[in-house]
Amino acid sequence: MSATTALSTYAPGRERQVYAQGWLDGFDHARLLHRSRRQRAAHRLTAGLTLATSAVRRFVGARVGVQPGTVGAILKGDVVSVPVMLTVEENIEYFSERGEPTPDELFEACARVGRIPAVALLVDLNNEGLLTPEAATAHVGDVWSSSEFPDRHLDHDVWRQLFALAGYTEDGRRATRPADALTLWRGSVPERRSDWSWTDNREVAERYAGGKHYSRPPGTVWQARVDPWRLLARNTQRAEHEYVVDTEGLIITS
The half-sphere exposure of 35 on its side-chain side, counting CA atoms within 13 A, is 19
- Give per-residue pLDDT as tens, 43-77: 445 445 544 543 443 333 333 333 333 333 333 33
CA 166 centroid distance within chain: 14
> Tell me: the pLDDT tens digits for 74-87?
333 333 457 889 99
Give me the pLDDT at residue 23, please: 38
Tens-place pLDDT, residues 8-38: 333 333 333 433 444 344 444 444 444 444 4
Beta carbons of 53 and 25 less than 8 angstroms apart: no
DSSP string covering 45-97, please? Answer: HHHHHHHHHHHHHHHTT------TT-SS---BTTB-SS----SHHHHHHHHHH
Rounded Cα–Cα distance for residues 164 and 239 (Å):
24
Q: What's the average model confidence in pLDDT over 210-237? A: 91
Length of the chain: 254
Note the pTM of the prediction, 2 decimals. 0.70
Smallest CA-to-CA distance from 26 within 116, 111, 123 is with: 111
